Structure 1
Amino acid sequence: MLAVTTVPDIESVGIVGGSLGGLFQAVALAELGLDVTVWERSAGRPDDRGAGIVLQPSVAWFLRMFCGVDPDRISVPVTHRQFFSLDGKSHHTLMRQRMISWGAIYTSLRDRLDPARYHEGAQVTALVPRPEGVDVQVGGAVRSVDLAIIADGSASRHRRLVAPEGAPRYAGYVAYRGVIDEADLSQELSEVFRDRFSFYDGDRTQFLSYFIPGDLGTTAPGRRRMNWVWYVRADAAGLERITTDRNGTVHGLSLPPGLIAPQVHAELLDRARALLPGPMRELVEHTREPFAQAILDGHVSRMRAGRMLLTGDAAFVVRPHTAASVEKAAADAIALFTALLQVPSLDGALRAWEKNRLAEGTALHRHGIGLGDRLGLSSSEATQAAAAGPAA
Structure 2
Amino acid sequence: MLTVTTPPDISTVGIVGGSLGGLFHAVALTELGLDVHVWERSTGRPDDRGAGIVLQPSVAWFLSEFCGVDADQVSVPVTHRQFFTRTGNVRIMPMRQQMISWGTIYKALRDTLPAERYHDGQPVTALTPTPAAATLHLGSTAHAVDLAIVADGSASLHRGLVAPESASRYAGYVAYRGVIDEADLPQELAACFRDRFSFYDGDRTQFLCYFIPGDFGTTAPGHRRMNWVWYVRADAPELEHITTDRNGIGHGLSLPPGLIAPQVRTDLLTRARSTLPQPLRELVEHTREPFLQAILDARVTRMRNDRLLLTGDAAFVVRPHTAASAEKAAADAITLFHALRQAQSADAALRAWEQLRLAEGAAIYGQGVGLGHRLGLSGMEAPVSTVGRAG
What range describes the TM-score normalised by the shorter chain of this pair? over 0.9
- TM value normalised by structure 2: 0.97
1:1-392 matches, cutoff 5 A: 1-379=1-379, 381=381
Matched residues in 2 for 1:128 and 1:247: separation?
A: 38
SS at match of 2:9: coil
Matched residues in 1 for 2:319 and 2:191: separation?
A: 30
Matched residues in 1 for 2:254 and 2:326: separation?
A: 18
Matched residues in 1 for 2:231 and 2:308: separation?
A: 35
SS at match of 1:134: strand
How far 1:380 sits from its partner (Å)?
5.2
Aligned residue pairs total 384
Runs of 4+ in 1 over 4 A off after TM superposition: none
Please tell me whether the aligned partners of residues 50 and 228 of structure 1 are also in contact (alpha carbons under 8 angstroms): no
Q: Which runs of 5+ in 2 are unaligned?
A: 385-391
CA distances 1:106-132 after superposition (whole Å, capped 9, x unpaired)? 000011101111111111111112332
Identity of aligned residues (%): 74
Matched residues in 1 for 2:60 and 2:289: separation?
A: 30
Matched residues in 2 for 1:213 and 1:74: separation?
A: 7
Matched residues in 2 for 1:49 and 1:251: separation?
A: 19
Matched residues in 2 for 1:191 and 1:361: separation?
A: 37
SS at match of 2:192: helix
SS at match of 2:154: coil
How far 1:169 sits from its partner (Å)?
0.3
SS at match of 1:331: helix
Please tell me whether the aligned partners of residues 311 and 329 of structure 1 are also in contact (alpha carbons under 8 angstroms): yes
How far 1:48 sits from its partner (Å)?
3.4
CA distances 1:319-349 after superposition (whole Å, capped 9, x unpaired)? 0000000000000000000111122111111
Please tell me whether the aligned partners of residues 48 and 215 of structure 2 are also in contact (alpha carbons under 8 angstroms): no
CA distances 1:27-74 after superposition (whole Å, capped 9, x unpaired)? 000010000010011110012324100000000000000111000111
Change (3 A) 1:381 1:35: closer
Amino acid at match of 1:92: I
SS at match of 1:193: coil
Amino acid at match of 2:45: R
CA distances 1:67-97 after superposition (whole Å, capped 9, x unpaired)? 1100011100000001001111101110000
Q: Which runs of 5+ in 1 are unaligned?
A: 386-392
- TM value normalised by structure 1: 0.96
Match of 2:389 in 1: none
Please tell me whether the aligned partners of residues 235 and 380 of structure 2 are also in contact (alpha carbons under 8 angstroms): no
Amino acid at match of 2:31: E
CA distances 1:212-256 after superposition (whole Å, capped 9, x unpaired)? 000111110000000000000000011111101111111000011
Matched residues in 2 for 1:341 and 1:180: separation?
A: 43
How far 1:180 sits from its partner (Å)?
0.5
Please tell me whether the aligned partners of residues 81 and 197 of structure 1 are also in contact (alpha carbons under 8 angstroms): yes
SS at match of 1:334: helix
Amino acid at match of 2:283: L
